[in-house]
Structure 1
């Protein structure tokens, strides 16, 4: 019998244990900035230098972070089940990739990518955007962070939805369950018969209860869950 089809949704909680700052604090600030100023198209229009500087700084900070045991465990699971696994991340860091994950969708964009506001091309970019490098396609110096802001459409929604509809197991790791469309995936998976699992530091705000909800650090919970999945698969 083949391995189950698995969709794993990851949020800020999985990267927090690598020292990556979470999205916002209780005051509605993101690393000391108002979310409206650094995570909306309107904020970028008002002060592009502030926004570009903010994401350049985040890119530098992430460069010094390292994948943790949770990232590595998911890469190990992919190595065992291959295309039966899809990781959907709300994170804009590259820790999943550096851990070895390849079947991955960054639904909220990536720090190591730039979007040209003139021609719409998305390309990997490790350079600091504060220097206003030219677009590699059209040549205009109109690159912005390739990060999905409030009011913008997340990436890969069709692929994600198809995977969620077809999965046998849906797992949510380190996410609050408060931001849509990601927050709706557990209900969609459950409606189509998937077993749902939450691995989180504390219970999320998901509207639909998970079949199995475990609380604790991702670096402890995720490797243990992966070991369970691999053990079960070996007995099939």
Structure 2
């Protein structure tokens, strides 16, 4: 099926990164439950909320600071390198697809990227090393060095609008592919989870690789309930 595909759209969720040591949101005892992201509106309105958001951010960063690309990430990188997969659409914010060898333009990040910060006013990028030094030295939420605006991790928070550019790119890829390959997503977080169904409606075959069942299993052409790394290791 994959060998015969002309254009493959990759789609990944948290399950591809749990094998790298990054916890997902729903696992029992997940540290995300005690370090939940602050809603976007509250983050903008309250300096105290921003202070707490950065504290939680750095706690989580320390937990998975040693994470490296999994066999699943490497499998997707190999598919992209083969020329049959133009890009990987991901719900993840960890940057591990880029670490696996993919260029920035080969990763469509629907929920942003947690490996750097940006200014909500002017958009300037700020590296986390600088942000953390400032935060730990002063105890205050950092401000943009260019305009004094609010700095935020470059992720999409609850209540924040989805990024228009990545959403358009994901829709275009889902509409043009003849195989949509999902790995490690529960397919319950919308609007991101709508892309596999959209691809299927546009004539693509749908393959889902996930440890647990998903709401789209019945619609899929192939479902594999297994560890992602063991499945994708055949590609590299």
- TM-score normalised by the chain length of structure 2: 0.83
Aligned equivalent of 1:171, options 181, 197, 200: 181
| RMSD of aligned alpha carbons | 2.5
Residue matched to 1:116: 119
Question: Aligned equivalents of 2:28 and 2:39: distance in 1?
Answer: 19
Q: Quote the offset at 1:124 in angstroms.
A: 5.2
Question: Aligned equivalents of 2:172 and 2:218: distance in 1?
Answer: 20
Q: Is the 8 A contact 2:217 2:223 kept in 1?
A: no
Q: What do the CA deviations read for 1:111-142 (whole angstroms, capped 9, x no partner)?
A: 122121232x052523253525542542x152
**Does 2:150 correspond to 1:152?**
no
Residue matched to 1:41: 40
Q: Is the 8 A contact 1:5 1:85 kept in 2?
A: yes
From the superposition, tell whether residues 124 and 49 of structure 1 become closer, same or farther in structure 2 (CA, over 3 Å). Answer: closer
Q: Quote the offset at 1:28 in angstroms.
A: 9.3
Q: Which moved more, 1:59-68 or 1:185-194?
A: 59-68
Question: Aligned equivalents of 1:124 and 1:49: distance in 2?
Answer: 17
> Helix, strand or coil: the match of 2:83?
helix
Question: What is the 5 A alignment of 1:45-64?
Answer: 45-46=45-46, 47-64=49-66
- TM-score normalised by the chain length of structure 1: 0.83
Name structure 2 gaps, 5 residues minimum.
135-140
Q: Quote the offset at 1:61 in angstroms.
A: 3.4
Question: What is the 5 A alignment of 1:44-123?
Answer: 44=43, 45-46=45-46, 47-81=49-83, 84-102=85-103, 103-119=106-122, 121-123=123-125
Question: Aligned equivalents of 1:23 and 1:194: distance in 2?
Answer: 29
Residue matched to 2:193: 183
Question: Aligned equivalents of 2:30 and 2:162: distance in 1?
Answer: 21
Residue matched to 2:138: none
From the superposition, tell whether residues 28 and 59 of structure 1 become closer, same or farther in structure 2 (CA, over 3 Å). Answer: closer
Q: What do the CA deviations read for 1:12-64 (whole angstroms, capped 9, x no partner)?
A: 0000011101124468972413x4xx241144245111111111233333431
> Helix, strand or coil: the match of 1:75?
helix
Q: Quote the offset at 1:171 in angstroms.
A: 1.0
Aligned length: 220
> Helix, strand or coil: the match of 1:182?
coil
Question: What is the 5 A alignment of 1:10-25?
Answer: 10-25=12-27
